[in-house]
Each structure stands twice: as structure tokens, then as C-alpha cells.
């Protein structure tokens, strides 16, 4: 009923251990998840967001704050030189989201999956292929790709920390009183999906990859696989979503969902 020990870390940086937040019980009765130190450090941002009624205004404030706090508009202040062999100044949270939308199996996807490992303790089980327990080479390649992607960036993982905290804030304001959203995913093969059991109501109990794309539209999900399943997704497990910021994740009404064991219903 939860992620097996080989699929999780003993320690994480979240308010719940991986065994709990990766369990079927969490899907049934979710609670808010917080990352260590993020909310207190950025409380002035959230205080200012409270005063804004329009999502577009909050999005603009968030982007302005991110640029200022992480000095994203001032590469020299971060020690980045124009003469550097590789320009790392554009590798920020926006680049990660755009890269994920283009292809979740590229470097940006690896960085986001590794962030889930670090913060929530759920290990990546699929990236371009299965990261099997016995295949040390595939794991080494994955870790190398992540390290290369994080090198000489402006605290990229901390940027994603704040992105997650803001996503949770926005979800709470836009869906007050709700704990779940009904989302859909199209699949053509295993692709990080492991079936564990069948429930009495016909739903499949599956182990999702530690980060996956879902859609708010069944029709759009149908475009990405031979089979579509629906999932009552805890809002606490949504890293980012379509409509969070203008121009991002718009194409497929996309949601980035943190994994674990979940009950899903195959629609076709």
C-alpha cells in the first residue's frame, strides 16, 4: 500500500516521511505538505500575495520576486561570466518547466525528478527507461545528468522549492475547500507505471513514477497514449499546473504530479 523501500529514501525534506506521503492512504486522506524552511524564509512574499485578488497579478508578483531573490536578471551578480564556455544564466525554474513540457525525458526532466527525490524522498523509477535496482549504470547516468544540469545555476533546487510552495498557495485559493482534482494520463506502455493490485471497485492500484504529467482534460490525455486513466489526485502532490503562469504548461492543460501509490481507473 506504499512505495517499497527500494523506491524511497529514509530521509527527506518534507513534513511527512516518504513512506507516508507515497502511500495509498495519503491519496485517501491527504494533508498539506511543507518543505523545510521554505515558508518562513519567503513569508513576506505570501503576505503580499494575500492582498491580491487576481491570479495574473499574483503571477506577476511571483515572477518579480523570483527574479529579485535569486538575481535571475543579473548573471554577473551570481558570478557568471559572459566569457564562460557554457552560458548557465538561463537555466532557471521557467526553463525547467518549458523543458519538461517539450520532453520530460531530457535534462530538465531529470533535474525535476531528482528534486522530488531530494525533497520528498521518492526515487525516480523511470527516465528514458526503467531505473532498475540492479542496473547501477542507468542510475549513474541519471545522477550524472542531474549534476551537470545543476552545475553553476542560481540555486535551482531552491527555486523549485518556492515554485512548489506558490503552487500550493494558488491551488488553495483557486479550489478552496477541495483536497483532490480529477486528472487524466495517457499511456502507451509501462512508462513508469507499475500495477500492484486491483481494488473491488475495479480501480487499479499502481505505483506512479516520482513525477509524471497529467492533464485536466480527458480528451487531451487521449492524445498521448493508447490508454487513458483517471486519478483523484491530492492537490498536495501537484508541483505546477496549467494556468499557474501565463504561457506555461498551456498546451495540454498539464499538471506535474508527484508520485506514489494511487488508485486509478482506466477509461479506455
pLDDT tens-place string over residues 68-106: 999 998 777 766 656 555 565 678 999 999 999 889 999
DSSP character at residue 116? H
The pLDDT value given to residue 152:
79
* Three-class DSSP category at 36: coil
Based on the structure, what is the number of domains in the chain? 2
Nearest-5° angle of CA 201, CA 126, CA 268? 35
Distance between CA atoms of residues 239 and 147, nearest Å = 21
To the nearest 10°, report the CA torsion of 254, 166, 149, 183: -20
- For residues 129 and 251, membership in a common domain is answered with no
Q: Does 192 map to a domain? A: yes
Q: Are residues 143 and 257 in the same domain?
A: no
Say whether both 124 and 242 belong to one domain: no
Domain assignment present for residue 3? The answer is no
Same domain for 188 and 129?
no
3-class state of residue 186 by DSSP? strand
**pLDDT given for residue 248 in this prediction:** 72
Same domain, 42 and 165: yes
pLDDT at 156 over 80: yes
The last residue of a domain, from among 155, 174, 193: 174
Both 161 and 262 in one domain: the answer is: no
Write out 71-84 in H/E/C secondary structure.
CCCCHHHHCCCCCC
CB atoms within 10 A of CB 89: 18
Residue where a domain stops, chosen among 174, 200, 224: 174
Place of cell 503576505: 47
Same-domain pairing of 102 and 233: no
Same domain, 169 and 128: yes
In a domain? residue 1: no
Residues 192 and 151 in one domain: no
The Cα–Cα gap between 182 and 66 comes to 30
Dist CA 62 CA 45 (whole Å): 8
Q: What is the pLDDT of residue 209?
A: 94
How many other CB atoms are there within 10 angstroms of residue 184's CB atom? 24
Cβ burial 30-55 (10 Å sphere, 16+ → b, else e): beebbbeebbeebeebeeebeeeeee
Residue 254 domain-assigned?
yes
Q: Classify residue 22: in a domain, yes or no.
A: no
193 and 129 within one domain: no
Residue 159 lies in a domain: yes
**Are 193 and 230 within one domain?**
yes
Helix ranges (DSSP H) in 151-245: 156-174, 218-221
Give residue 42's pLDDT band: very low, low, confident or very high (50, 70, 90).
very high
CB 202 within 8 A of CB 173: no
For 126, half-sphere exposure in the C-beta direction (CA atoms, 13 angstrom radius) is 17
Shared domain check, 200 and 143 = no
Task: Determine, yes or no, domain membership for 70.
Answer: yes
Q: Are 165 and 172 spatial neighbours (Cβ–Cβ below 8 Å)?
A: no
Whether 118 is in a domain gets the answer yes
The CA distance from 200 to 25, in Å, is 16
- At which of 156, 174, 192 does a domain end? 174
Residue 238 belongs to domain spanning? 180-266
Give the least confident one: 80-89, 103-112, 130-139.
80-89
Amino acid at each position: 500500500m506504499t512505495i517499497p523501500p527500494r523506491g524511497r529514501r529514509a530521509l527527506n525534506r518534507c513534513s511527512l516521511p516518504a513512506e507516508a506521503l507515497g502511500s495509498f492512504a495519503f491519496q485517501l486522506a491527504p494533508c498539506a505538505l511543507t518543505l523545510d524552511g521554505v515558508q518562513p524564509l519567503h513569508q513576506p512574499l505570501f503576505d503580499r500575495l494575500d492582498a491580491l485578488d487576481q491570479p495574473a497579478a499574483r503571477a506577476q508578483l511571483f515572477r518579480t520576486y523570483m527574479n529579485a531573490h535569486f538575481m535571475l536578471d543579473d548573471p554577473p551578480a551570481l558570478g557568471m561570466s559572459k566569457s564562460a564556455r557554457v552560458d548557465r544564466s538561463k537555466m532557471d525554474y521557467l526553463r525547467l518547466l518549458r523543458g519538461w513540457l517539450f520532453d520530460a525525458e531530457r535534462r530538465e526532466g531529470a533535474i525535476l525528478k531528482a528534486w522530488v527525490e531530494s525533497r520528498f524522498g521518492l526515487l525516480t523509477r523511470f527516465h528514458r527507461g526503467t531505473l532498475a535496482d540492479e542496473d547501477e549504470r542507468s542510475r549513474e547516468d541519471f545522477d550524472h545528468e542531474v549534476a551537470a544540469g545543476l552545475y553553476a545555476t542560481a540555486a535551482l533546487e531552491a527555486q523549485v522549492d518556492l515554485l512548489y510552495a506558490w503552487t500550493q498557495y494558488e491551488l488553495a485559493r483557486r479550489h478552496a475547500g477541495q483536497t483532490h482534482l480529477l486528472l487524466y494520463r495517457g499511456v502507451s506502455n509501462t512508462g513508469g507505471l507499475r500495477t500492484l493490485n486491483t481494488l473491488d471497485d475495479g480501480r487499479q492500484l499502481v505505483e506512479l513514477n516520482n513525477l509524471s504529467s497529467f492533464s485536466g482534460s480527458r480528451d487531451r490525455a487521449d492524445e498521448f497514449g493508447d490508454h487513458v486513466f483517471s486519478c483523484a489526485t491530492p492537490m498536495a502532490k501537484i508541483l505546477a499546473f496549467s494556468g499557474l503562469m501565463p504561457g506555461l504548461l498551456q498546451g495540454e492543460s498539464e499538471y506535474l504530479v508527484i508520485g506514489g501509490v494511487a488508485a486509478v481507473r482506466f477509461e479506455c
